[in-house]
């Protein structure tokens, strides 16, 4: 287990040097390695000057990097923001290589925007060409029912007000060890709950001490059991260790629900998703199952109904149409709206590659896989019509 990030949430007016001491301590004081320090601001359309947004963002990011921040999330273009703000995202992402931005496609109240899904599909296509390998879309996500305060990128943004920090934990190995050490499902669940609570007991007191010392509120831990691309830290591997033949086979949905429910039972200062995270390119076993053709886009959507984050780091054909991307975004928005749960869509069209082609990135957090197939030509008809739609929360009676 490691800490994926210590994420500071603050208004952009906060001077970066004023928290440099906190950032130094946050990188060094925890009993496990801290991989990165991150900053989440208020959504950038609320504070960046429209006429000089890219220049202002570059200066802002540079100041925070000098203070010790590794990645800056400028937050989302909101549902009611002018759609032209999306035109800035490719330049905001491409100028630094450390800047994230996002787009809200559905609110926490069930209001979703068909027009915004279409606009984001165009933006995804544009961002896919920033780098020859399509890596740019790592830095952008569609947010559905995602509120402020999530320490996992690309969902990170601040609601405004006093600064606070949260911790994102990389802990896929805890789930795998818990299952391997068990002889029954009850024992596996108890093992995982105990492992999460033990890990939290190591991390939370240090965070609370930092909060007292530097006067920055601690808002909690996101135990989303994020994987690392080695077999021993694979969440897909933990699901298969329960007895699923391979991810994508029957029983996989149960495994996703089972592990997520154990996280729900654990006692710790909770924030963010705190669920099961299944990013295709970040999980060695999941990436392999995708390469073998066992996992489909719809499988991952179904898992998202009972577990965590949504569609994350999904390798897609480079020539995927805007209509097909729009359909994927609409599916994520609808699922989040009906269930009132936060979901992210981080879709990565890879220029020059087609479904089934191998993928390989020179990036520590990505495993080799293959491009997923997207059936059909994309949405049409009424789905290309009105801008907004309200979906009520699912109710059983």
Residue 286's nearest CA partner among 343, 229, 360 is 229
Handedness of CA 74, 76, 82, 88 (dihedral sign): positive
Report pLDDT for 397: 67
Q: Give me 53's structure tokens.
A: 């947004």
Q: Could you tell me the CA-to-CA distances from 153 to 98, 222, 360 in Å, in that order?
A: 11, 12, 21
Q: What is the pLDDT of residues 173-232, one digit of tens each?
A: 999 999 999 999 999 999 999 999 999 999 999 999 999 999 999 999 999 888 888 989
Three-class secondary structure of residue 260 per DSSP: helix
Q: What is the pLDDT of residues 337-364, one digit of tens each?
A: 999 999 999 999 999 999 999 999 999 9
Q: How far apart are CA 248 and CA 255, in angstroms?
A: 11
DSSP conformation letters of 55-100:
HHHHHHHHHHHHHT-SEEEEEEEPTTS-GGGGGGHHHHHHTTSSEE
Q: What is the pLDDT of residues 47-106, one digit of tens each?
A: 999 999 999 999 999 999 999 999 999 999 999 999 999 999 999 999 888 999 999 999
Q: Output the pTM of the full model.
A: 0.96
* Three state DSSP letters for 3-45: EEEEEEECCCCCCHHHHHHHHHHHHHCCCCCECCEEEECCCHH
Helix axis angle for 252-265 and 185-214, nearest 10°, is 50
Report pLDDT for 343: 97
Q: How far apart are CA 346 and CA 313, in angstroms?
A: 5
Q: What is the pLDDT of residues 8-47, one digit of tens each?
A: 999 999 999 999 999 999 999 999 999 999 999 999 999 9
pLDDT band (50, 70, 90) for residue 307: confident
Q: Could you tell me the CA-to-CA distances from 25 to 19, 150, 209, 311 in Å, in that order?
A: 10, 21, 10, 34
In the chain, DSSP finds a helix count (H) and a strand count (E) of 11, 13
Three-class secondary structure of residue 361 per DSSP: coil
Report pLDDT for 395: 82
Q: What is the pLDDT of residues 109-132, one digit of tens each?
A: 999 999 999 999 999 999 999 999
The chain-wide mean pLDDT, for the chain, equals 95
């Amino acid at each position: 287990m490691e800490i994926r990030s210590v994420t500071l949430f603050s208004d952009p007016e906060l001077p970066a040097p004023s928290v440099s001491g906190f950032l130094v301590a946050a990188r060094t004081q925890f009993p496990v390695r801290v991989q990165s320090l991150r900053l989440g601001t208020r959504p950038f359309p609320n504070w960046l000057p429209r006429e000089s947004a890219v220049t202002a963002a570059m200066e802002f990011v540079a100041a925070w990097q000098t203070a010790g921040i590794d990645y800056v999330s400028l937050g989302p273009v909101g549902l009611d923001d002018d759609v032209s703000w999306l035109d800035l995202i490719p330049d905001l992402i491409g100028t630094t290589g450390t800047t994230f931005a996002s787009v809200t496609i559905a609110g926490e109240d069930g209001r979703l925007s068909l027009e915004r899904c279409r606009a984001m599909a165009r933006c995804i296509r544009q961002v896919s060409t920033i780098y020859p390998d399509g890596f740019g879309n790592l830095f952008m996500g569609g947010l559905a029912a995602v509120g402020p305060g999530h320490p996992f990128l690309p969902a990170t943004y601040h609601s405004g007000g006093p600064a606070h920090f949260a911790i994102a934990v990389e802990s896929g190995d805890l789930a795998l060890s818990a299952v391997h050490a068990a002889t029954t499902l009850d024992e596996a669940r108890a093992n995982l709950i105990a492992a999460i609570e033990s890990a939290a007991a190591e991390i939370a007191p240090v965070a609370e001490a930092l909060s007292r010392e530097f006067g920055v509120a601690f808002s909690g831990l996101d135990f989303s059991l994020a994987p690392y691309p080695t077999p021993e830290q694979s969440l897909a591997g933990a699901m298969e260790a329960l007895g699923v033949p391979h991810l994508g086979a029957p029983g996989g949905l149960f495994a996703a629900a089972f592990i997520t429910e154990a996280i729900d039972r654990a006692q710790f200062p909770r924030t963010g998703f705190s669920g099961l995270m299944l990013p295709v390119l970040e999980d060695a076993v999941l990436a392999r199952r995708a390469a073998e053709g066992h996992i489909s886009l719809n499988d991952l959507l179904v898992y998202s109904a009972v577990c965590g984050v949504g569609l994350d780091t999904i390798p897609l054909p480079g020539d995927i149409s805007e209509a097909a991307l729009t359909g994927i975004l609409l599916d994520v928005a609808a699922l989040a709206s009906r269930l009132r749960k936060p979901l992210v869509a981080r879709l990565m069209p890879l220029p020059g590659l087609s479904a089934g082609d191998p993928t390989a990135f020179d990036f520590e957090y990505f495993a080799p896989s293959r491009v997923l197939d997207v059936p059909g030509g994309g949405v049409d008809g009424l789905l290309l019509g009105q801008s907004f739609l309200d979906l009520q929360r699912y109710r059983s009676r």
